[in-house]
Amino acid sequence: MKLRTILLFGAPGAGKGTQGKILGTIPNFFHFACGDAFRNLTIENEIGRIFIDYSSRGQLVPEETTIRLWKQSIEGSRRVGRYNPQKDTLVLDGIPRNATQAQIMSETLDVVAVFHLKCSNLDQLVERMQRRALRENRLDDANMEIIQARLETYERETKSVLDYYGTDLVHFIDSSQTPTNVLRAILDVIAALPPAQACSADAGLLPV
Ligand code: ADP
């Protein structure tokens, strides 16, 4: 049995984190933000060092490392009872981010909806990133060259991920709206999804 999953997809600064955190407070939803998991690591940690190396250049962390972190984090949350794969819908924010990750994760995930938070106003994205740079201690948001590199990485990977999931699963959401209206648009889709099936007892046991 695979893990029932909703994906939040969108450019840096599009508001995935804001929406993901809110969705994660709803009973039976569990929010996992890949960037937060990386940022929670320390420099003593091998994955933490790899993360700093790539993110400081605006690049994606290599597949093997990213998937390892994801599995370890989800399995850790399951073990301590924060995430219950039999009842909870996973809200994934920032992963999968390219078609290779989507392909690898397809063994584990039952993706029921993909929300593409789309912001056509580039200035608005950049402004949001620069505003959170100091507040959230995100050095990758402070430098214009790195912001540019991250936006380019996103543009390059976007189409392949959306193609991978196909038009039936992908819902476009205008993320230049207020957070309340973005949330309403997302909840309208979630409310119309078929209810979660009861999962088997061994659902979600990830080989780490
Ligand atoms: P944003 O969506 O604003 O770019 P995130 O917090 O999701 O920010 O990611 C910050 C950085 O963490 C990325 O630039 C990248 O280096 C790394 N990262 C996060 N998620 C992934 C992923 N799925 N694959 C590879 N690298 C990732």
- Residue 63: is it exposed, middle or buried by C-beta count within 10 angstroms (0-12/13-18/19+)? middle
Arithmetic mean of pLDDT over the chain:
91
pTM here is: 0.89
Q: Among 26, 14, 18, which Cα is nearest to 129's?
A: 14
Instruction: List, for residues 30-65, the tens digit of each pLDDT value.
Output: 999 999 999 999 999 999 999 999 998 889 999 999
- d(C-alpha 13, C-alpha 10), whole Å: 8
- pLDDT of 158 over the 70 cut: yes
Angular region, 6: left φ>0, alpha ψ -120 to 50, beta rest: beta
The pLDDT score that the predictor gives to residue 201 is 46
DSSP track, 41-86: S-TTSHHHHHHHHHHTTT-PPPHHHHHHHHHHHHHHHHHTTS--TT
Higher pLDDT, 128 or 83: 83
Q: Which domains does the chain have, with CATH numbers?
A: 3-32+85-192 (3.40.50.300)
Q: At 74, which amino acid appears?
A: I
- pLDDT of 204 over the 70 cut: no
**The two three-digit tokens of residue 184, written as one number:** 């309403």
> What backbone torsions phi and psi does residue 153 show, to the nearest 5 degrees?
-55, -45
* Residue where the block lists tokens 């990977």: 157
User: What is the distance in A from the centroid of ligand 1 to the CA of 199?
Assistant: 30
User: What is the distance in A from the centroid of ligand 1 to the CA of 96?
Assistant: 10
Q: Among 177, 138, 187, which Cα is nearest to 35's?
A: 138
- d(C-alpha 30, C-alpha 28), whole Å: 7
Instruction: List, for residues 65-111, the tens digit of each pLDDT value.
Output: 999 999 999 999 999 999 999 999 999 999 999 999 999 999 999 99
| Beta carbon of 60 within 6 Å of any ligand 1 atom | yes
The pLDDT score that the predictor gives to residue 65 is 97
Lowest mean pLDDT among 80-84, 94-98, 156-160, 172-176: 156-160
User: What is the distance in A from the centroid of ligand 1 to the CA of 1?
Assistant: 28
The pLDDT score that the predictor gives to residue 135 is 78
- pLDDT of 127 over the 60 cut: yes
Instruction: List, for residues 4-18, the tens digit of each pLDDT value.
Output: 999 999 998 899 999
For residue 33, which atom of ligand 1 is closest to its CA?
7
Answer whether 94's CB lies under 8 Å from 100's CB. Answer: no
User: Residue 206: which pLDDT band, with cuts at 50, 70 and 90?
Assistant: low
For residue 101, which atom of ligand 1 is closest to its CA?
23
- pLDDT of 169 over the 70 cut: yes
Higher pLDDT, 198 or 165: 165
Answer whether 113's CB lies under 8 Å from 6's CB. Answer: yes
The pLDDT score that the predictor gives to residue 81 is 96
For residue 62, which atom of ligand 1 is closest to its CA?
25
Q: What is the mean pLDDT of residues 17-27?
A: 97
- pLDDT of 137 over the 90 cut: no
User: Residue 200: which pLDDT band, with cuts at 50, 70 and 90?
Assistant: very low
